[in-house]
Amino acid sequence: MKILHTADWHLGHVLFNYDRHEEQQSMLDQMAEIVKKEQPDVFILAGDVFDNAQPSATTQTMLSDAIVKIHQANPDMAIVSIAGNHDSGSRHTIFHSAWKMLNVTVLGNVYKEESDLSKYVVEIKDKGYVVAVPHAAERNMPDCFFERLQEYVAEKNAEKQLPVILTAHLAVRGSNFKGHDNATDLCVGNLDCQDLSVFGQGYDYVALGHIHRAQFVSGSEKRVRYSGTPIAVSFDEVESGNEHSVTVVEIGKHGDLPQARTIAIHNPHPLVNLPTEGFAEWDEVKSLFDAYPDDIQSYIRLNVLVDNCLPALAENEARQISRNKQCRFCLINSKRKEVVKQDYEHRQLTTSEFQRLTPIQVAEYYLKLKDIEFDDDLRSMFKEAVDSLNYIS
């Protein structure tokens, strides 16, 4: 069984008010070309297809055109797409009946009292099975759902012993979450981290979405993998060793170790940090930007080390430098030379620092300013409110 695993397209994403349609279209065209060359048995899109729950008509058209083109590149291939936490589960499945005509299966919702397990299982005739579980708020996820689905497939697969694949959209503890703001081993992108044990035993390969860095999860024997973003969504994802790509996986029979390789995706408008690693003082960064080639159509972030704040005219100077260049200047990302650990009420945050805070960290910051204890009960209530808002969106 041959699988093409991708996730986190974030179609419709706008980067500092710059439309990214051209580079996203380039990525989708490359997907179709890869499918044409590789001829996989199944194409897995593991969530966060769109950047928000209400994508524009243009963005939705771009997706539907791409799916048709990908199907035409390999008409016998099954396509399986699940909703991620950025997607609307109900919107994801509006045209599921029509998509079936092109061998496309879309799943958008999970319900707590789910009795029909068959809807989450896609059989790839004589090749294997794909168990597809879209993102769901914790309160809506049935108990031991991944294990129950694996047991259901095991009964169907008892004779042929074909490969069994799971695709899901969630955060797994032990993964490398560098590139996600304020992520910890407890929470990444506002999703609580799960242990590897949540998947149970019996899946030959777990195709995950959500974390933007391509990787096998530590301790998974190279069976649990994030494909990462095919093109960078944020400047923090741009670093040496983080290749933006799709993953091609091949499995002989049930129980075999997957053989995986990556195929890089080229971005015609790359995201660039100056300096490429770390921070530097303003005069040095300004010189780097001035020397940056005029003809490269990229997005630029300037990473500046400051004593307390940026020079007053720094923003204007940066825009003046970019005037005769084809790059798109996005922002100055400032960091203090010495970050002293202080109580919240005794320090001020830079704009960049504040933008990287999660909702719960903003709440903690505010309550400390008001001298109100952010105890476990209040933290739990706040988290439930945030989860409810994310679910509604």
Distances (CA, A) of 158 to 154, 203, 251, 325: 6, 14, 17, 62
**Last residue within a domain, chosen from 212, 235, 264:** 264
**Last residue within a domain, chosen from 264, 283, 313:** 264
**Last residue within a domain, chosen from 244, 264, 284:** 264
Question: Cβ–Cβ contacts within 10 Å for residue 45, how many?
Answer: 29
Angle (CA) 6 265 90, round 5°: 35
Which residues have C-beta within 8 Å of that of residue 392, sequence separation ≥ 6? none
Q: 175 and 115: one domain?
A: yes
- DSSP single-letter state for residue 346: G
Instruction: List the chain pLDDT tens, one digit each, 393 residues.
Output: 999 999 999 999 999 999 999 999 999 999 999 999 999 999 999 999 999 999 999 999 999 999 999 999 999 999 999 999 999 999 999 988 999 999 999 999 999 888 899 999 999 999 999 999 999 988 889 999 999 999 999 999 999 999 999 999 999 988 888 877 767 767 787 788 889 999 998 999 999 999 999 999 999 999 999 999 999 999 999 988 889 999 999 999 999 999 999 999 999 999 999 999 999 999 999 999 999 999 999 999 999 999 888 888 999 999 999 999 999 999 999 998 865 444 444 456 666 666 667 777 788 777 777 667 777 667 767 877 776 665 554
pLDDT recorded at residue 140: 87
Number of folded domains that form the chain: 2
Smallest CA-to-CA distance from 151 within 121, 181, 114, 124 is with 121
pTM score, whole prediction: 0.85
Q: 115 and 242: one domain?
A: yes
Q: 136 and 12: one domain?
A: yes
At 137, which CATH number?
3.60.21.10
pLDDT recorded at residue 22: 97
Burial class (CB in 10 A: 0-12, 13-18, 19+), 308: exposed
Q: 186 and 229: one domain?
A: yes
Q: 81 and 174: one domain?
A: yes
Task: Respond yes or no on whether the N-terminal peptide bond of residue 275 is cis (omega within 30° of 0).
Answer: yes
Q: 220 and 134: one domain?
A: yes
Q: 301 and 232: one domain?
A: no
Q: 62 and 174: one domain?
A: yes
pLDDT recorded at residue 348: 60
Smallest CA-to-CA distance from 231 within 269, 275, 284 is with 269
Q: 260 and 363: one domain?
A: no
Give the residue numbers spanning the domain of 51.
2-264
Q: 285 and 253: one domain?
A: no
Q: 40 and 120: one domain?
A: yes
Q: 118 and 258: one domain?
A: yes
Smallest CA-to-CA distance from 354 within 343, 344, 363, 362 is with 362
pLDDT recorded at residue 345: 46
pLDDT recorded at residue 340: 41
